[in-house]
Amino acid sequence: MAKQSAKRKKWSRGPCIGRGTHATIFLATNIENGKKFAVKSADRGNVIERLSLEVERRLLKACRSPYIVKYLGCDSTDHVKEMYGRNTFNLLIELVPRGSILDHISRSGGSLPEEIVIAYTRDILLGLSYLHSHGVIHGDVKAENCLMGRNNIKLCDFGAGKFLADEDFVLEPRNGQEVDVKRIFTTGTPGWKAPEVEDEVEQGSASDVYSLGCTVVEMCTGKPPSQEHSFDFYPSPKIYSEECRQFVDLCLRENPRDRPEAQELLEHVWFTKPFVYPVAKQAHSIGESTFHMISEIVELLY
């Protein structure tokens, strides 16, 4: 009887609430207490999907910060009908029903007020400062991977992350490239990648800082800066302060050794300006079909 009880499934799978590159995200319910959380499921038979979720599990399990989505556990499920009958590896994480900063940008017509950008940037920096102090790189900082919690932003989607202590995966030189040129496997999204990451030379905490600079531009303009870093893509001086543009310049320095660390950036004069974190009203971001259900979840959680 004890073995049967231990194997009994302790949560039920609800509707799909999002899709990532390597996983599908579902609403889930704890059968014992009725609490809601999120489940990221990947096909166990797909090596890339499984590896990405395993990396995320390893990193999240080591993190304890209010600025990082909380790890709740992991398990496996066979023949999941919502995944076309596939066997899945499941990552259980806290539910953050307000959606991402990208959702907020979209709802706001393509840009956010500076006082909100300051608040969001500060929270992202607090998350990055925690990660970097514990030897962790996020690897894919962008508005889509920053969730809006009740009181602060939470970094999510660590499938591109790594521990700094881990050895880099060395790749074969490209055609025509010198054989003694070291080329490493890097992660991230084009448009948010630091130059050294694009060139597959290195990827460290300074690379996260560069991606943060791109994310600030994204919050101000609706898109990351161009590869040429044209000032046409920088925060408009008519709308955003000089301190904002100076902060972005620091983050987007080409040489990673010239970029300040996340903890140092928290002391930037930009953060002395007034800022506000928007209060939750309604959870639109997951879709109209689940609007009322998610609104109820917010009440249950808080």
Residue 249 catalytic? no
CB-based contact 191:144 (threshold 8 Å)? no
Contact by Cβ (8 Å): 119, 125: no
- Say how far residue 285 (Cα) sits from the centre of its chain: 16
Which of 82, 75, 62, 73 is closest to 35 using CA atoms? 73
Structure token pair of residue 209: 């800082």
| Per-residue H/E/C for 108-134 | CCCCCCHHHHHHHHHHHHHHHHHHHHC
| Bridge partners for 137 per DSSP | 162
- ∠ CA 115-154-232 to the nearest 5 degrees? 45
Contact 58, 47 (CB under 8 A): no
* CA dist., res. 81 & res. 227, Å (int): 43
Determine if residue 182 is labeled as part of a ligand binding site: no
Separation of CA 30 from chain center: 24
Q: Which residues contact 259 (CB under 8 A, 6 or more apart)?
A: 206, 209, 210, 250, 251, 253
State whether residue 141 is helix, strand or coil: coil
| Of 103, 140, 157, 208, catalytic | 140
User: Strand, coil or helix: what is 180?
Assistant: coil
Q: Where are the beta strands (DSSP E) in 120-255?
A: 136-137, 146-148, 153-155, 162-163, 170-171, 183-184
Q: Which residues are annotated as a binding site for ATP?
A: 40
What residue numbers does the annotated binding site cover? 40
Catalytic residue numbers, as ranges: 140
